Amino acid sequence: MKKIYSSVGVLATKYEDELYGMAVAWVFQVSFAPLLVAVGVGKNRRTLEGIRKAGRFAVSLMSEDNLDVVLRFGSKSGNKWSGTQYVLIDDVPVIDGAIEYFTAEVVNMVETGDHVLVIGKVKTERTVDDKPPILYGEDGLIFIKDMEIKEF
Ligand SMILES: Cc1cc2nc3c(=O)[nH]c(=O)nc-3n(C[C@H](O)[C@H](O)[C@H](O)COP(=O)(O)O)c2cc1C
């Protein structure tokens, strides 16, 4: 779908001493109270296994400044975590440089087509920076140069 734009970041979790992480674009809020967020995760993703085991995850949304991090986590090759700076918040990894992040406890997992909709109840959330997120849409990544925000 070309005209559905969404913010890009890194979905990550930790189970025992093992770290899991992947680039993610299908992430969106689905409830205000409680505050729930859904993430669409491909069934073959290693990160999905980690989330099933840990029952929790973090999403770190990224600006253009951290495009390299997004692309590293979007690939299968190499160790994505070596050289990646992160902190554990609520025992899940939040990536350094995130413009906004949240941690969440899994409340539901819905099998849907070739993906699983992971629904999480937000535990901690923080906006760190005013920079615009990288967007995914139009079959590619979109970099916002001038972000005009209109109140409604
Ligand atoms: C910008 C970008 C956005 C992505 N968004 C998603 C997504 O929303 N859901 C998904 O399942 N995969 C998405 N991917 C693909 C995964 O990040 C990729 O398959 C990754 O290698 C999975 O890692 P893992 O198997 O270690 O979990 C995206 C990749 C990129 C580069």
Give residue-wise pLDDT tens across range 28-50: 999 999 999 999 999 999 999 99
Q: In angstroms, rounded to a whole number, what is the distance separating the alpha carbons of residues 106 and 48?
A: 12
The predicted structure's pLDDT at residue 42 = 98
Scanning 42-151, the segments in alpha helix (DSSP H) are: 46-54, 67-73
Supply the pTM of this predicted model: 0.97
| Centroid of ligand 1 to alpha carbon of 152 (angstroms) | 33
Amino acid in the structure at residue 96? D
Q: Which of 7, 22, 77 to mutate to test the pocket of ligand 1 (most atoms within 8 A of CB)?
A: 22
Domains observed in the chain: 6-142 (2.30.110.10)
- Cα–Cα distance between 19 and 84 in angstroms, integer? 11
Q: How far is the CA of 8 from the centre of ligand 1 (A)?
A: 10
